[in-house]
Structure 1
Amino acid sequence: MTVALTAAGCGISGPVDVTGLRRVVGTDLVGARGANPADQRKIDRTVVGLCAGKVWTDAECRRHGEMAVP
């Protein structure tokens, strides 16, 4: 079984490079706690990247928009 998984390219090692994911997600979320409008903007910018990168479905992105505080 192990040989088959290894031969198929499956494993438990992490990705070699996460540059693309970092570009999609960004770093705005770091330190945000959602406690104030500035934090909410950081969360929203992160969601925009996830939606634009198609990490989340259109329905999930709409749900976030519905939950956002005006």
Structure 2
Amino acid sequence: MGAPSDLVALADPLGLGQGDALLDRWIFGKHEAPRDDWAAGAHVVQAGRHIHRDTVQARFAEVLRRVLS
């Protein structure tokens, strides 16, 4: 098989764009975060939530507490 890939699943519920037009609207317009994202072949954002969100959030809170104390 080939190398792992990075992918982002974008939604266009109103059918307003195709190809580059959809991507331009998503990058430059008002939108929600991607619901699904794959990095190096791993499905890291599932239903809009990063698989390591809780761990990252806890680490960030601890670092912030130390910086502010």
TM-score by length of 1: 0.25
Q: Which has the higher contact order (CA 8 A, sep 6+)?
A: 2
Q: Name the structure where strand makes up a greater proportion of residues.
A: 2
Q: Name the structure where helix makes up a greater proportion of residues.
A: 1
TM-score by length of 2: 0.25
